[in-house]
Amino acid sequence: MMTGAEYIESLRSLKTEVYFMGKRVESVVDHPAMRPHINSAAVTYDVATNPETAHLGSAVSHLSGRTINRWTHIPQNQDDLVKKAMMLRVAGQITGTCFQRCVGMDGFITTYSTTYEMDQKYGTDYHERFKRFLIATQDKDFMTDGAMTDPKGDRSKSPSQQHDPDLFVRVVEQRPDGIVIRGAKLHQTGAINSHQILVMPGQGLQPHEKEYAVICAVPAAAPGVVFVFGRQVNDSRKWEGEIDQGNATYGTVGGEAMIIFEDVFVPHERVFMNGETEFAAMLVDRFASYHRQNYGACKSGNLDVLVGATAALADIHGVAKAGHVRDKLTEMAHLVETMYSGALACSFNCTHLGCGTAFVDQTLANVSKFNTARYYPEVTRLAQDIAGGFIATLPSEKELENPRVAKYIHKYYQTRPDVPALDRIRLGRLVENMTGATPIIECMHGAGSPQAQKVVLQRQIDWLKRIKLARRIAGVANAEAPK
């Protein structure tokens, strides 16, 4: 396994084609807009190698028997799923933001079970191919971008009905030695600092849409792979200073990018689905469940940091003992623990798939993500309420070096003689960073919007069983509910 420092150094040898602000980026490691996100991803390596957290961040591969990073592991039992959730909360507490490696991890888990079932039905060798690829990934400890979200075009139309067939990644050529893919994936967290990309379909497909049914692995620096790094609110602060960023070490959310596949060749040994349309929906459904498990854990870890920053500011402001402040802080903590309990519950209440992989409880995983999308904004609202309005009007950190006004900033932003004004400013910027638009949007739509969870819950809940329970207890003569 690599350490975080070794991971960062490994990125220097990648010759990826990355663009930002109209220019090609020569080194993602050294670019101020990207380095914080890279530091955050490096935490996934340190959690696995640090003796204090290695029991959560590492695992024993069921394929090789070697100790590996848990972010490349296929969960075999309840303990694996529980430790996955616990690991995510710890990483969230360390970074206070997204650490980017979860989509690739969940892509591994779902591709593993999907290839097994395709082989069972068709006698293909996708599963063996994928196992060889996964072992190599585990041994090299590569970070993998799980690429699932297509541009989609007109949402009312299927991939084959779009005005442009490239709005969903598709196979444009079948060769004796592999395939050629074309299209794009959007909103790709951690893409520019991944070693490789696992391309997956993003929705169910019709039988005639075989060219869109593709799972394959592509090196990040493969010819024809182009990255366009996205902008975030206030991202120019990354190259303007340190304090104003709020979270200068680890950044805001995950540094998302567009990935363009410009007729990229993929050899057969890296192809794990090629036309099996009936398995696309199953893959997406399973992936969504594993990924929604994560949100109750990683976001609770992030919000542990926000609760701490808010409590610290309340103390600095002299209101920590006020009854309404204590009540709001307690409410924040309650909501955070409720989110985390969902991640643990769906992990404990697991089952096993045919390939032996432990599978989270789908209903509880979706409840966990739905609660997270609902409670995260409320926790941020309470943080802003308690922290106060000074966060929205703080002067630039450059004024701290302005000889004309610096002494006044230190003078008038100080609340108590024993607490420097700079402490208050730093904590205020952290709260601003964690409660802004970008984190809330990512929490809302990452792993699917709340409506997606409602759709799954409507399908998963046994409504008839509940009606029968009520009719029996109420003494309704016919306990069988009408259809």
Torsion of CA 94, 233, 410, 385, to 10 degrees: -80
- Average pLDDT score, the chain: 95
Asked whether residue 38 is assigned to any structural domain, the reply reads no
User: Average pLDDT for residues 136-160, to the nearest whole number?
Assistant: 97
Burial annotation 258-280 (CB, 10 A radius, 16+ → b, else e):
bbbbeebbbeebbbbbbbbbebb
Residue 407 lies in a domain: yes
pLDDT at 480: 60
Residue 457 lies in a domain: yes
482 has a pLDDT exceeding 70: no
| Chain segment 154-196, per-residue pLDDT in tens | 999 999 999 999 999 999 999 999 999 999 999 999 999 999 9
Is residue 365 assigned to a domain?
A: yes
What is the number of structural domains in the chain?
Answer: 1
Quote the strand ranges of 256-336, DSSP E. Answer: 256-267, 271-274
State the maximum Cα–Cα separation within the chain, in Å, rounded to a whole number.
85
Identify whether 214 is part of a domain: no
pLDDT single digits (tens) 289-345 = 999 999 999 999 999 999 999 999 999 999 999 999 999 999 999 999 999 999 999
Tokens for 171, please give them.
Answer: 């196979």
Tell me, yes or no, whether 211 lies in a domain: no
Question: Which CATH number goes with the domain that contains 383?
Answer: 1.20.140.10
pTM (2 d.p.) = 0.93
Task: Please tell me the predicted confidence (pLDDT) of residue 437.
Answer: 76
Asked if residue 266 is part of any domain, the answer here is no
CB 393 within 8 A of CB 432: no
Q: Residue 442's pLDDT band (boundaries 50, 70, 90)?
A: confident
**Smallest Cα–Cα separation from 216: which of 308, 115, 305, 124?**
115
Rounded Cα distance, 278 and 280, in Å: 6
In a domain, 97, yes or no: no
The pLDDT tens digits for 278-289 are 999 999 999 999
Domain limits at 431?
283-468
pLDDT, tens digit (0-9, with 9 covering 90-100), for 360-369: 999 999 999 9
What's the confidence (pLDDT) of residue 453? 81
Residues serving a catalytic function are 98, 102, 189, 256, 291, 295, 298, 442
Q: How many CA atoms lie within 13 A of 13 on its CB side?
A: 6
Arithmetic mean of pLDDT, 213-241: 96
